[in-house]
Structure 1
């Protein structure tokens, strides 16, 4: 979940990499560091510190035109100066940064008894393995094979691998040796990794990935490397998404990609959004900005996909002829906020498409129960497209023979390459660690899929589909009405900010919104918050209710309003303050606080969720929390 940024070009590298790390800090903020190559002295300058990127001074090595940087989310070893990246071997000639987990690092470390280690990280093992491999290559010379028995440098007089004619020489002997050493080392690693390396004797960056994201940016007389696109767009919109096993060699005037030892032409994609989309735009926090971006995000998600007049939803997913009619089960595989979007979607599929639908926590997924793989559609829902648990579940489903669909916000992400089909939610960049606009966009996109499947299967009439599409297209305006009442929500949040705990309740479509509301509050305020089906309160959780535990209830259409009001009465009888979101014009009972939303049918709870988002935001802000960088969390969970 760490962030990697690299630059090589004709400008001073330090400030560019520092700014890249600031942009990527949502991926981890336990510590940060950079390694720069000083061209004048052929040496590496390394600076690293525990804490946020701001604790790291802007690197000032005027003649350094190549550098790599890292912002860390800790796995192996506490967030200390020593454990911060970059890491080096014993002689400091080569530095690396790493995102992921090396599962066999202890065994590898045991094989390096002649090396001295200075950190507790798994990453440092990779640096020492690279150092040893480079020693072997340099001892053998260009005309001899390296230690692993692979062929020597292509222009050094030795035979290359069969079919390796595309493996042209790298820009320098150093680049070639680092690449070949890295290829040899990663063959011995178990686990996930994105690794970037820089050497003291050459302005090049060598990088590779396996199950951790890494993107190359193509600039003018420059090349960039990042864990995520937002860090690249202020420099370039031309990017290459590396596949697992790819090795990239970046120099000021070229980008070379190697796959299975063969040089391949980079596949270049154009990023559609500009740098301003990844900035705060005058808001104090990314989270609040992204809450307010939801009307725009939903218009992008729905856009040309909706034809209300004919009651049809058009999606760029090409299922085989007759497949949807044969499907017996749809499985939604996801984690966190995406899992709650999947739970919402499962109810939609049951209702609109008349197909059994389940939402499974991806880390607990197993393809069992005698299901027919051909008649099972596994839908992996992941904002980043890189969530490790979700990708693992997707692989299991596909390995069992199920058809797979990835629903993501990220072009070129791993899920788009590994699933049979991909469906984009079109929400634009989301920087805040606590997901907001992507939840609404995920549910809306999956709702379109449910409508399309229902129409294809003949379980949904054009008239009924038209009603649902009208409700969907009304969502941006309905959400804007909630946003316009933010000051009222702030006042209520301030009133209850010092409460002991918070309960969120709802039924049917309101239940996943209750779960999501509780998740938002606990993520950014650090208060205890739980979401429950409203009817379950009396089966245990009611014992925790006091006059210091506000209960927030989804009481809109689509959320079992009448039954839930009975449950609200039960907590009121125990003295709990009650805050309810109701459909406009409907009796809200005797709530302490009532918020109204326009009627959006089964999507009304999605509008109610915006109240919960703003409530959580203002509770956290009142407490002075680090809203965009909540403790212990990172935006994209790329390790299992």
Structure 2
């Protein structure tokens, strides 16, 4: 949540900052602002999207080769210009941009106000500017002033600070909110996400929690919060600039849905040994003995990652014969989970920075459980914090509503389930071979579906006036019902609820009438007849039915609309049935004239509680 950009070097900072904010706008678009250092601090802020800031900034002369910028997702204070970042101190000497939450900001604000500080916003972040001002007044250099400030803070932060009298210097710090520094030929770049700097450099350094750095045009000084010097760790990004562009598509969400055949191939590439009928996961090589001995798996995630985990529960229990629980990461850490050395905790997160999921992993490590990560972002906090793991290899996902990352999570969970089943001897060679053979056909099946979107567009136009709907499924399809409802809510603002079909009679069926449609996931699986019985119950209440099925001939008499998916084996059906739910949500959003890339009140990466 929130996007931070900074630049110090030899070229003009303003274009770099605006381009960076545009790349990060999916992290928040309530307001935006920037500050250029040029002998003074010239700050421009605007309510709304980055385009509003860019237009406003054209009215000013913003010369300077160092600056910071921010696009905001509001946590404290309404989305108004006065609450936009950067925030300044009383004297205008300091400007800060911050991502995170300062939990003790009320106490700090009261103390600062008593000593004469005047606040201009309602945000928690502004206390940081005044605390840095206070430390500078005490004679501390900027890096030390920021360190002194942070020792008073309770909460999380990704922070960038500049000061009027200290040219060509940005001090950055991290605790629970990601920051990366890019090393380029024309200067140094700061961002909360690599997508903001990939155009300029692929050489980066990810800050760890408790680290701060002075970034100047001459280089980087990296230190720990306890003032110990820290060795710099330069990594090379695998992304390219094209991966974070729309490539001619109207929206990132559509582009990323259409990329899914290739994403599935990438998630499988190098991981299937067809000759031996084995799954090869190098990221789990060092923990194979522990995986053989484990007694239980706990999967943690939030949002779509949680729903992917629910599919993983079915896969792991069926294929690996291991008890599995799936927990919302936001609740897991506040319980007293019973974990042992033979418990494996698997964290699923596209960004690898989800605050609740990261804290769940830390809690698991405190209890000596083995921790695994399933993340998309290389070098992310969860990737570094876990004992082992597997990358999605989905490429950067810019659309706020997860599509290709979710599908890649399902693919990797399938591979992990087969791998663990083979390790533990619970999965026969014949069944593993059949699963892997069929998995290699899935990209072609997905390609067929996405090439024929006309039917889904017609369904969206027919039901464009929906205010409510149900998504229903059983067994492997239940999590896809939850995910489909989430996508519909996120981007089209239709009130959609996902239920297991068997639960419909326990309350939700009271809502059904001729104006309350249901999307029913009914592939020809082990629950097909029961799902058809559920459809009959909906029809008896005059509820319109949209069926997603691989057997249209068997569903034709039951449904008002049918969306056909290719046939595959039951364990792999969720990878196919989720695609129409993504496209339906997208087409509904477009038909209702909403921007699916920037759904209201949402941000891509939830890095605060």
Q: TM-score, normalised by structure 2?
A: 0.96
Match of 1:573 in 2: 540
Residues 314-355 of structure 1: per-residue CA shift (max 9 Å, x gap) = 112134453222211111100000000000001100000000
* Preserved CA contact (<8 Å) 1:14 1:61: no
Q: Does 1:49 align with 2:46?
A: yes
Give the gaps of 5 or more residues in structure 2.
Answer: none
Residues 417-448 of structure 1: per-residue CA shift (max 9 Å, x gap) = 21111310000000000000000000110111
> What CA distance in whole angstroms lies between the structure 2 residues aligned with 1:400 and 1:576?
49
Give the gaps of 5 or more residues in structure 1.
Answer: 138-145, 147-176
Question: Structure 1's 309 and 83: CA in aligned 2 closer, same or farther, altered over 3 A?
Answer: same
Residues 473-502 of structure 1: per-residue CA shift (max 9 Å, x gap) = 111111111101112211111111112311
How far apart are residue 561 of structure 1 and its match? 1.5
Indicate which of 126, 129, 137 corresponds to 1:127.
129
> What CA distance in whole angstroms lies between the structure 1 residues aligned with 2:580 and 2:145?
54
- Please give the residue correspondences for 1:75-224 in structure 2 after superposition, counting only pairs within 5 Å: 75-112=75-112, 113=114, 114-137=116-139, 177-201=141-165, 202-224=167-189
Q: Does 1:374 align with 2:341?
A: yes
Q: 3-state DSSP class of the match of 1:101? A: coil
Match of 1:629 in 2: 598
Q: Does 1:68 align with 2:36?
A: no
Question: Structure 1's 116 and 559: CA in aligned 2 closer, same or farther, altered over 3 A?
Answer: farther
* Preserved CA contact (<8 Å) 1:506 1:560: no
* Preserved CA contact (<8 Å) 1:559 1:605: no
* Preserved CA contact (<8 Å) 2:158 2:179: yes
> What CA distance in whole angstroms lies between the structure 2 residues aligned with 1:62 and 1:83?
21
* Preserved CA contact (<8 Å) 1:507 1:559: no
Match of 1:167 in 2: none
Match of 1:553 in 2: 520
Residues 337-374 of structure 1: per-residue CA shift (max 9 Å, x gap) = 00000000011000000000111111111597884511
> What CA distance in whole angstroms lies between the structure 1 residues aligned with 2:124 and 2:170?
21
Indicate which of 462, 485, 488 corresponds to 1:518.
485
Question: Structure 1's 613 and 261: CA in aligned 2 closer, same or farther, altered over 3 A?
Answer: same
* Preserved CA contact (<8 Å) 1:554 1:582: yes
Residues 38-59 of structure 1: per-residue CA shift (max 9 Å, x gap) = 1xxx101000011111111364
* Preserved CA contact (<8 Å) 1:524 1:627: yes
Indicate which of 500, 505, 515 corresponds to 2:472.
505
Indicate which of 578, 581, 584 corresponds to 1:609.
578
Match of 1:593 in 2: 561
Match of 1:158 in 2: none
Indicate which of 274, 278, 287 corresponds to 1:312.
278
> What CA distance in whole angstroms lies between the structure 1 residues aligned with 2:350 and 2:255?
17
Indicate which of 242, 248, 261 corresponds to 2:213.
248
Q: Does 1:263 align with 2:229?
A: yes
Question: Structure 1's 431 and 200: CA in aligned 2 closer, same or farther, altered over 3 A?
Answer: same
How far apart are residue 111 of structure 1 and its match? 1.3
> What CA distance in whole angstroms lies between the structure 1 residues aligned with 2:350 and 2:89?
36
> What CA distance in whole angstroms lies between the structure 2 residues aligned with 1:583 and 1:309?
30
- Please give the residue correspondences for 1:220-239 in structure 2 after superposition, counting only pairs within 5 Å: 220-239=185-204
* Preserved CA contact (<8 Å) 2:333 2:359: no
> What CA distance in whole angstroms lies between the structure 2 residues aligned with 1:324 and 1:125?
47
Match of 1:471 in 2: 438
* Preserved CA contact (<8 Å) 1:210 1:244: yes
Match of 1:168 in 2: none
* Preserved CA contact (<8 Å) 1:554 1:605: no
* Preserved CA contact (<8 Å) 1:511 1:559: no
Question: Structure 1's 199 and 47: CA in aligned 2 closer, same or farther, altered over 3 A?
Answer: same
Indicate which of 390, 396, 421 corresponds to 1:429.
396
> What CA distance in whole angstroms lies between the structure 2 residues aligned with 1:634 and 1:370?
29
* Preserved CA contact (<8 Å) 1:331 1:378: yes
How far apart are residue 258 of structure 1 and its match? 1.5
* Preserved CA contact (<8 Å) 1:408 1:424: yes
Q: 3-state DSSP class of the match of 2:491? A: helix
Question: Which deviates more, 201-210 or 363-372?
Answer: 363-372
Q: 3-state DSSP class of the match of 2:101? A: strand
> What CA distance in whole angstroms lies between the structure 1 residues aligned with 2:526 and 2:581?
15
Question: Structure 1's 368 and 374: CA in aligned 2 closer, same or farther, altered over 3 A?
Answer: farther
* Preserved CA contact (<8 Å) 2:5 2:70: yes
* Preserved CA contact (<8 Å) 2:352 2:380: yes
Match of 2:243 in 1: 277
> What CA distance in whole angstroms lies between the structure 2 residues aligned with 1:599 and 1:330?
30
Q: CA RMSD in A?
A: 1.5
Q: 3-state DSSP class of the match of 1:111? A: helix
Match of 1:341 in 2: 308
> What CA distance in whole angstroms lies between the structure 2 residues aligned with 1:110 and 1:569?
63
Question: Which deviates more, 563-572 or 576-585?
Answer: 576-585
Match of 1:357 in 2: 324
Match of 1:416 in 2: 383
* Preserved CA contact (<8 Å) 2:339 2:367: no
Q: TM-score, normalised by structure 1?
A: 0.92
How far apart are residue 584 of structure 1 and its match? 4.7
* Preserved CA contact (<8 Å) 2:272 2:279: yes
> What CA distance in whole angstroms lies between the structure 2 residues aligned with 1:522 and 1:559?
29
How far apart are residue 470 of structure 1 and its match? 1.6
> What CA distance in whole angstroms lies between the structure 1 residues aligned with 2:66 and 2:252?
30
Question: Which deviates more, 244-253 or 208-217?
Answer: 244-253
Q: 3-state DSSP class of the match of 1:443? A: helix
Match of 1:294 in 2: 260
